[in-house]
Amino acid sequence: MAATNGGHKQPSTCLDTTSPVIKRLGAALASIPLYQTALADAPPAFKELGIRYSHYDEDALNDSKLIFGSPKRYDIDVTQLWFETPVGGSWSVAMDVQNDSMSGASPWFVGANIDGQPGVIMSGASIHDNRVEVGVTTRYFWADGNAGFNVSHSKEDDYEARSMSFDVAWNSDNNSRTWSASVSSSNDTVQPVQENIPVFIEREALDTQSLYFGVSQVLSSTAIARIGLGYTISKGFLSDPYKLNDKRPDEHDRLALSAGYRKYFIEQRGALQLDYRYYHDDWGTDSHTAEIAWHQDIKQHSVKPYIRVYSQSRADFFNPIADLSTTYFADDYRLSAYGATTVGIHGFYQLGDWRLEAQLERYKTDSGSGLGGNLAAPALVDFWRGTIGLTWRFD
Amino acid sequence: MGGPASLLIKHKQSEVDTAAEVINDTVTMLRKLESDYSRYRKESIISLINSRAGTETVTPVDTEARGLLQFCDSLHKESGGVFDPTVGVLNRAWNFRHSALPDPSHVTELLSFVGWQHLELDESGVRLGIDQGEVDLGGVVKEYAADKAAAWIQSYGMTAGVVNLAGDVATFGAKAEKAPWQIGISDPSLPDEPVVTIELTDACVATSGSTQRFIDIDGERHSHFLSPVTGQPIKGCFSVSVIASSCLLAGGVATVACLKGRSAATDWLNQSGLPWLMVENNRLSGPIAEQRATRQALR
């Protein structure tokens, strides 16, 4: 046959197949040193536009724990919109917009009921609040890594936050190890709104800085592990202005150690995911978080059931009924000793360039599962959270 | 590498001497690679593994050989077992040059030595657990060599070129600004007669099969690919070309298509999601051919 001209033009995206067969063969290629260099960092090969909606619904407070007010707690609707695009051969830009719409009541303070047991006085009529957050991230890619810079701003009736962060990831020569680091700073203003309950401050500020350092290591062609250490310091007004009995230190130092392991099973087309986090702060709280998940590929779709277990000790100045004789005091359940279990499932359905996402999660607290004794808070919260999302990738 | 090979490097006028050195170094590397995996060289990794077949002796292998064997294992699984680098022992019975049919009992006897499941690979090395078994990586080494040569040349700072090893082609960079490389796809038995020309930039094309090497059995044409299950040649005589980001991946998909036979090849190729071309009885089919036909119709 004679040669012909003007054949098949080959843009790189024609080779971005989502075929599970090719993905598995590609994973096998990664065990050959030659192809590990080909996995060097690069900006995304396509643009991505996504939208996600979550509904968060707290269980009503148990009547036996309620002294006054409505037992109904918070509902939050979160809508996220994001867009990411490569720019040139080495850059990408992403923009995120999030809107949180919140309604409901929260505990105002904890008192003693007629039996002398702690009971909750709620904040009265349901509040309605709306928060909008906008963030922009620009990222630069080179052969051995990538670096990103993010600025974001969020505003709601009583709170405004401005933050920026910088992160970098660097790959070793054979791409088997990735070092990552990040630094961030946030400057927040709290200006509580006096509605159903009195507030005793007009306007306060707080600043937060954090630092993170981590490393991930490819253990084999099907396994990877990571470890990371984060440090965060907040200074300024750290108390909750909507709680009657809440006076916290004006500095809060936090340390978090995290580790993770991923193992892919080729024949089963699935991956085991294990994660652990240890947290410690200078308010006296320690916590452990452990999560186990199974990621299952189903053709080009996937589903991931998971379970997460959490346990924390109480802050030094926490009491179920705040002790006002001490310098610092709080009855906020989030500072109490408690445990929690989260059970969830997260699925992705791929349809050409579109990806549908759905997630359902149930979070249940247990006052008896805290670290270091009880002093249980009566206002521990249980909730449901459901999420759906749609992502579109295009050239 | 079983056929003509060419290395093409785009370079500045001032880099003529450097480019010549790069070519020489790359040829040296390719010869060593071919030698390392040759069945005909006693000291090669493959010969050592085969000479110890059926014994308890484990042959240590380096990361590269281990990775190639793991890729073969993955391809064996994904192909449903039709891709089997231990099938070469059957060539002792079959002779495609003379179209003579072998003694069936000889084929049956040789078939007992075939089986990828007899190859054990662990941290200590490789062992072929069946006496008289043979492993042959010729089906993947040529495509791997094309990828390695392209990376080798780029490591010297060269940014554009074409590596063509007997029809397995790896390109990097572009011929000129907005001008991709023009690559002709041929039947491997007729390398000088391209059936279609494609444009590639930083992509590879590998071709497997042949419309010229075949054997007639009961009036039906069979290719020179042998089934590791029946010991018989695969029905159908066609060639398949696949485009992918690496030659090894393209060649693996193309080879499996030929091994699956005509009736199952199309499903396999479509499942891969990669651009492909099939040539059979002078007819072209597949996404590459369809796009070419569309362009011609629109002229």
Domain spans in chain B, listed from the N-terminal domain onward: 164-297
Q: Which of B197, B222, B227 minimizes the C-alpha distance to B210? A: B222
Considering chain A, what is the average pLDDT of its residues?
Answer: 88
Give the CA dihedral A290, A294, A295, A297, nearest 10 degrees: 180
**Pairing assessment for the beta strands A301-312 and A286-298 based on DSSP bridges:** antiparallel
pLDDT number for residue A1: 23
Q: How far apart are CA B62 and CA B153, in angstroms?
A: 22
**A6/B contact by beta carbon, under 8 A:** yes
Window 111-150 of B: residues touching A by CB (8 A cutoff) are 144, 147-148
Put simply, the answer to whether A27 touches B68 (Cβ < 8 Å) is: no
Q: Which chain A residues are Cβ-neighbours of B244 within 8 angstroms?
A: 15, 22
**Pairing assessment for the beta strands B239-244 and B204-209 based on DSSP bridges:** antiparallel
Note whether A166 and A149 are within 8 A (CB).
yes
Put simply, the answer to whether B271 touches A19 (Cβ < 8 Å) is: yes
pLDDT number for residue B295: 62
CATH of B164-297, one of 3.10.520.10, 1.50.10.10, 3.40.50.300, 3.40.50.11610: 3.10.520.10
Q: Return the SS3 of A117.
A: coil
Who among A3, A6, A29 is closest to B249 (CB)? A29
Residue pointed to by tokens 């390719």? B30
pLDDT number for residue A7: 29
pLDDT number for residue B126: 92
**B70/A contact by beta carbon, under 8 A:** yes
Q: How far apart are CA A168 and CA A209, in angstroms?
A: 17
User: By CA distance, what is A174's nearest residue in B?
Assistant: B63
Domains and CATH numbers, chain A: 12-394 (2.40.160.40)
- The low-confidence residues of chain A, meaning pLDDT below 50, are 1-14, 39
Q: Which chain A residues are Cβ-neighbours of B274 within 8 angstroms?
A: 15, 17, 19, 22
Q: Which chain B residues are Cβ-neighbours of A12 within 8 angstroms?
A: 201-203
**Pairing assessment for the beta strands A8-9 and B194-200 based on DSSP bridges:** parallel
Q: Return the SS3 of A316.
A: coil
Put simply, the answer to whether B147 touches A37 (Cβ < 8 Å) is: no
Q: Return the SS3 of A125.
A: coil
Put simply, the answer to whether B144 touches A34 (Cβ < 8 Å) is: yes
Window 39-68 of B: residues touching A by CB (8 A cutoff) are 63-64, 66-68
Note whether A131 and A352 are within 8 A (CB).
no
**A8/B contact by beta carbon, under 8 A:** yes
Q: How far apart are CA A336 and CA A286, in angstroms?
A: 11
Who among A4, A28, A34 is closest to B196 (CB)? A4
pLDDT number for residue B218: 76
pTM of the model: 0.59
**Pairing assessment for the beta strands A354-366 and A338-351 based on DSSP bridges:** antiparallel
**A89/B contact by beta carbon, under 8 A:** no
User: By CA distance, what is B291's nearest residue in A?
Assistant: A8
User: By CA distance, what is A17's nearest residue in B?
Assistant: B273
Q: How far apart are CA B94 and CA B113, in angstroms?
A: 15
pLDDT digits (tens, 9 = 90+) for A84-141: 998 876 789 999 999 999 998 888 999 988 888 899 998 876 778 899 999 999 999 8
User: By CA distance, what is B201's nearest residue in A?
Assistant: A10
pLDDT digits (tens, 9 = 90+) for A335-370: 999 999 999 999 999 887 889 999 999 999 998 899
Window 249-288 of A: residues touching B by CB (8 A cutoff) are 266-267
Q: Which chain B residues are Cβ-neighbours of A353 within 8 angstroms?
A: none
The conformation of residue B137, written as its DSSP 8-state character, comes to -
For A337, phi then psi, to 5°, come to: -85, 120
Interface size, chain A vs chain B, as Cβ–Cβ contacts under 8 Å:
125
Residue pointed to by tokens 């909606």? A53
User: Could you give the strand order of the β-sheet that contains A8-9, starting from the edge strand earlier in sequence?
Assistant: A8-9, B194-200, B181-186
Q: Which of A46, A49, A50 minimizes the C-alpha distance to A86? A: A46
pLDDT number for residue A15: 57
Put simply, the answer to whether B184 touches A3 (Cβ < 8 Å) is: yes
Put simply, the answer to whether B74 touches A17 (Cβ < 8 Å) is: no
Is residue B133 left, alpha or beta, with left meaning phi > 0 and alpha meaning psi from -120 to 50?
beta
pLDDT number for residue A3: 24
Q: How far apart are CA B182 and CA B186, in angstroms?
A: 13
Put simply, the answer to whether B249 touches A27 (Cβ < 8 Å) is: no
A129-145 in b/e form (b: 16+ CB < 10 A) is bebebebebebbbeeeb
Q: Which of B169, B174, B203, B209 minimizes the C-alpha distance to B188? A: B209
**Pairing assessment for the beta strands A177-190 and A204-220 based on DSSP bridges:** antiparallel
CA distances (Å), origin A281, targets A230, A278, A341, B153: 12, 10, 22, 54
Put simply, the answer to whether B246 touches A18 (Cβ < 8 Å) is: no
* Among B248, B280, B283, B290, the residue to mutate for chain A (most A Cβ within 10 A): B248
Q: Give the other-Cβ count within 10 Å of A240's Cβ.
A: 20
Put simply, the answer to whether A8 touches B272 (Cβ < 8 Å) is: no
Per-residue pLDDT tens digits of chain B, which is 299 residues long: 667 789 999 888 877 888 888 899 999 999 989 888 988 888 889 999 999 999 999 998 888 888 899 999 999 999 999 999 999 888 888 877 666 788 889 899 999 999 999 999 887 889 999 998 999 998 799 999 999 999 988 888 788 899 999 889 999 988 877 688 888 887 766 767 788 888 888 899 999 986 666 777 777 777 788 889 888 888 877 889 999 999 999 999 999 999 998 889 999 999 998 999 998 877 889 988 877 766 666 54
Q: How far apart are CA B241 and CA B276, in angstroms?
A: 6
**For residue A208, what are the β-bridge partners?**
A186, A234
Put simply, the answer to whether A15 touches B244 (Cβ < 8 Å) is: yes
Q: Which chain B residues are Cβ-neighbours of A24 within 8 angstroms?
A: 74, 78
Distance of CA A335 to the CA centre of its chain: 19
Q: How far apart are CA A124 and CA B9, in angstroms?
A: 77
Contacts of B32 (CB under 8 A, 6+ apart): none
What is the CA angle A118-A122-A128, rounded to 5? 155
Q: Which chain B residues are Cβ-neighbours of A6 within 8 angstroms?
A: 197, 292, 295-296
Q: Could you tell me where the DSSP H helices lie in chain B?
A: 16-36, 45-51, 63-78, 104-111, 138-154, 247-260, 262-272, 287-297
User: What is the secondary structure of A164-217 as a DSSP string?
Assistant: EEEEEEEE-TTSSEEEEEEEEEEEEEE----SSS----S-EEEEEEEEEEEEEE
* Among A4, A9, A13, A15, the residue to mutate for chain B (most B Cβ within 10 A): A15
